[in-house]
């Protein structure tokens, strides 16, 4: 890393009880090969499992790169944007890369590739990439077939949900604008990334790199993954409200019926992971409300596997 000039990228890393994973995460940052200065701000939110000790250890080895913020009291639980306000003064870079403490980077040229693109294309506000999907032991668990998009992606984010892998992002530092926007949203946000990406999509284009630059870890319990179906429904309901809000706020133009139908299909697919009977109830409800959904090929496959074969999908 060049030691000359201003900081080009601030890497924002939020961690909480990630002791088994945080070392690999931090190693992915410090291995970056760049022609510009970057910094890594690691915020440990009063972990109870030794995460902070590992952060201290790595930060001591790379004091010119890593700035640790080690809380004694959990900030996220205070709500109302407390965590964002704590981090805002540290976001000094022209660009920001975001990676939470259980994910990690695998490409040592990730930042260089993304910054080079953003510098050359001022009409783009965000880059993101493909990712390996791994479990708690870094073992690949399935092939990621989610479709990704480049260009003007507001409609796709509304209709398809969050296809941007947060750990892979590098984006222009518009945090001040985002904080002002966030303060006006009349909703409790169960997620930090999707509403932010929706806001960014109204400011410019997104660039998708098909190469796998990072590893995204799926844990048994997290904000977006859970065995508790009620938690899954609450998360999806919140996503639907966010999509409806931004669609109206910025006049994105996706029909409300389309948004509600897409989220109803998502809930039915989530129900298929619970049991045959739960899926059957949601599937019947979906078809009654949106008869055209019976022709959805993805749902037809899920219905066959769950109802006929009774396979957990």
pLDDT at res. 2? 47
Residue 291 CA neighbour count, 13 Å, CB half: 0
Q: How far apart are CA 313 and CA 295, in angstroms?
A: 19
Ramachandran quadrant class, 143 (left: phi over 0; alpha: psi -120 to 50; beta: rest): beta
Q: Provide the total of helices (H) and of strands (E) in the chain, helices listed first.
A: 11, 8
Is residue 166 within 8 Å of 98, Cβ to Cβ? yes
End-to-end Cα separation, the chain, in angstroms: 45
Averaged in consecutive runs of 10 residues, what is the pLDDT profile of the chain (313 residues)?
73 96 97 97 95 97 96 80 81 96 97 98 98 91 84 95 95 93 90 93 97 90 65 92 96 96 93 91 94 92 89 76
């Amino acid at each position: 890393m060049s030691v000359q000039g201003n900081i080009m990228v601030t890497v924002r890393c939020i961690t909480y009880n990630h002791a088994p994973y945080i070392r690999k995460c931090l190693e992915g940052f410090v291995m970056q090969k760049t022609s510009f200065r970057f910094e890594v701000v690691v915020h440990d939110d009063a972990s109870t499992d030794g995460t902070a000790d590992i952060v201290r250890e790595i930060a001591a080895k790379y004091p010119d790169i890593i700035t640790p913020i080690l809380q004694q009291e959990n900030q996220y639980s205070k709500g109302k944007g407390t965590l964002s306000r704590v981090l805002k003064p540290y976001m000094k870079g022209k660009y920001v890369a975001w990676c939470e403490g259980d994910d990690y980077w695998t490409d040592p040229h990730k930042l260089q590739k993304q910054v080079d693109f953003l510098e050359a294309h001022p009409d783009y506000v965000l880059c993101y990439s493909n990712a390996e999907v791994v479990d708690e032991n870094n073992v690949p668990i399935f092939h990621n077939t989610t479709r990704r998009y480049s260009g003007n992606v507001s409609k796709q984010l509304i209709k398809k949900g969050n296809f941007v892998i947060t750990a892979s992002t590098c984006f222009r530092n518009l945090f001040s604008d985002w904080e002002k926007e966030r303060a006006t949203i009349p909703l409790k946000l169960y997620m930090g990334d999707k509403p932010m990406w929706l806001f960014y999509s109204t400011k410019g284009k997104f660039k998708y790199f098909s190469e796998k630059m990072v590893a995204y870890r799926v844990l048994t319990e997290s904000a977006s993954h859970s065995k508790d179906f009620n938690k899954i429904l609450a998360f999806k309901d919140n996503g639907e409200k966010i999509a409806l809000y931004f669609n109206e706020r910025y006049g994105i133009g996706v029909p409300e019926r389309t948004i509600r139908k897409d989220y109803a299909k998502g809930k039915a697919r989530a129900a298929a992971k619970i049991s045959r009977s739960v899926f059957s109830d949601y599937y019947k409800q979906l078809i009654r409300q949106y008869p055209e959904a019976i022709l959805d090929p993805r749902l037809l496959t899920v219905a066959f596997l769950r109802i006929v074969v009774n396979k957990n999908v």
